[in-house]
A and B are shown apart, each in its own frame.
Chain A
Amino acid sequence: MTMSTDSTLASGLPSEVRRHFPFASRFMRVNGYRMHFVDEGEGDPVLLLHGNPTWSFLYRKFIPRIVAAGYRVIAPDHIGFGLSSRPAREHDFSLENHISNLEEFIRRLGLQRITVVCQDWGGPIGLACAVLNPAAFKSIVVMNTWAWPEPTSFHSGVFPWRMMHAPVVGPFLFQRRNILVERGLYLSVVHRERFLEEALPAYRFVMPDYDSRLLTRVFPRLIPLRPDDRSAATMRWLEQSLHSMNIPALIVWGKEEIVFPAECAQRFKTLLPHAKGPLWVTGSHFLQEDSPEEICGHILDFLDGQDRGRKP
């Protein structure tokens, strides 16, 4: 197994970022790419999965709380984000490639009894891994995400979503102007002043130039809008497979979320009728920035309910 700390990359984080993200950076080669991850604590693993355009920094306030409660916390950066590799070509990316990357990552770490906590693209990627390896997963926590081929009203509209990543427009807005980091994140949190002061430098640091931002443009194009779009078959498979899973589940949703509105939380409840929730917290799309303490409380209550009788 190739697993190491990369002192050059990790030490390159500026102090204003490192102050909020004091964890050891680890790296593993996965499907030929360098994947960065945090691995802290001991116990059953809790796998924290981010989406677009964030990285494991998004979970900086989750990690110490969940570790302190007696769990091992693992937070990888998807390939194309954070301190992980940045493939240079749009055709290098697909939903299936991301799922395979996480699959390989989980397999090589030998993780068992996993609880996956996922938001945005972390949802389809992480939930697919749970479907593929049901014996390795203990439970799932879904937040502001989706697992079906039909788009939300937000994703169907030309303004602003489809225009943002339209041909020729997409490279300009996402890569030359870095709009998701420079503006999209800000618009998708509730506590905006805190975000600007504490978090924006970390998201900006890992997207310094045109090439580094490629996947912020590619991920939107992978969201299926029509039944024959690229990711649609995998999303159909995911929805059908999830529906037949009886894995313990928790649904946490942002009250101010507009990307995946409240109907999506209800759809997860229909898909996973045994799930706890939806539990509503203050939060827009990046609810981890808005309500980390409250969400961690819900996750730990949920885990405690499952582990009661197992722990001494």
Chain B
Amino acid sequence: MSIEIITAADIRAEKYRRVFVMVEERLGHYAGFREALIEAFGLTAAHADGGPPGYFRAASGREYEVVFTSRSGQRFPSGLEIQALIPRFDPVDPEATDEDMWRFLEWLIPRVGGEWTLEALQATGKVYKIPWA
């Protein structure tokens, strides 16, 4: 499995620091993405009020924190931030991180479903020379 949803107790990285990867401020830009993430990460109303973030482990073994954000006037979660959990003073490998993010998208898009297909994602990635597409 390319992406494994884990909890804080499952994190293998020790003495890690958080390194910003990317932010999405408009999960509601297209319908279906918010719901797919709610289901995949088991989000409830409690998560909007001080609950824990989500975590996942990529096939590479690298682990990531997913911080779900809320915004007045929008349903929770309205956005998310992804942070890499990197051993405290280790350097970051952006290309390896990007490969993990691509695998995360390949995992996410079929969960959204409907017109959002893995084939469309991979075809888009090929047009734009994403190495892992």
Contact = CB atoms under 8 A, between A and B. Distances in A.
Interface of A: 89-91, 158-160, 162-173, 175-177, 179, 182-184, 187, 210, 221
B24 interface: yes
A164 B124 contact: yes
Nearest to B115: A158
B124 A170 contact: no
A187 B126 CA distance: 13
B127 interface: yes
For the complex of A and B, the 7 pairs showing the least CB-CB separation, nearest first, are A167-B33, A171-B22, A179-B128, A90-B25, A160-B124, A163-B124, A159-B120
Contacts of A182: 128-129
Nearest to A168: B24
Interface string B96-133: 00100110110011000001110011011001111000
B26 A172 contact: no
A173 B105 CA distance: 11
A160 B29 contact: no
Given A166-B116, A169-B105, A210-B22, A183 B27 contact: no
B3 interface: no
A172 B121 CA distance: 12
Given A167-B24, A179-B128, A159 B30 contact: no
Contacts of A158: 115-117, 120
A90 B26 contact: yes
Contacts of B85: none
Given A160-B124, A183-B129, A168 B116 contact: no
Contacts of B30: 162, 166-167
Contact of B22 (A89, A165, A175): A175
Name which of A162, A172, A183 has the most chain B CB atoms within 10 A of its CB.
A172
A160 B123 contact: yes
A221 B127 contact: no
A94 to B, nearest CB: 12
A187 B29 contact: no
Interface residues of B, number: 32
Interface of B: 21-30, 33-34, 80, 94, 98, 101-102, 104-105, 108-109, 115-117, 120-121, 123-124, 127-130
Main secondary structure of the interface of B (DSSP, over half): helix
A172 B28 CA distance: 17
Given A173-B128, A183-B129, A168 B123 contact: no
Contacts of B98: 172, 176-177
Nearest to B121: A163
Given A158-B116, A167-B30, A172 B124 contact: no
Contact of B26 (A160, A164, A167, A176): A167
Contacts of B108: 168
A85 B80 CA distance: 25
Given A91-B25, A158-B120, A176 B101 contact: yes
11 contacts: A91-B25, A158-B116, A159-B120, A160-B128, A163-B120, A163-B124, A167-B24, A168-B104, A169-B121, A172-B22, A173-B128
A159 B124 contact: yes
Name which of B25, B29, B80, B116 has the most chain A CB atoms within 10 A of its CB.
B29
Contacts of A159: 120, 123-124
A91 B78 CA distance: 12
B105 A184 contact: no
Contacts of A175: 22
A183 B128 contact: yes
Contacts of A187: 127
Given A159-B123, A176-B22, A187-B127, A166 B33 contact: yes
A177 B94 CA distance: 10
Contacts of B28: 167
Nearest to A220: B29
A164 B117 CA distance: 13
Nearest to B66: A168
Given A158-B116, A163-B121, A170 B128 contact: no
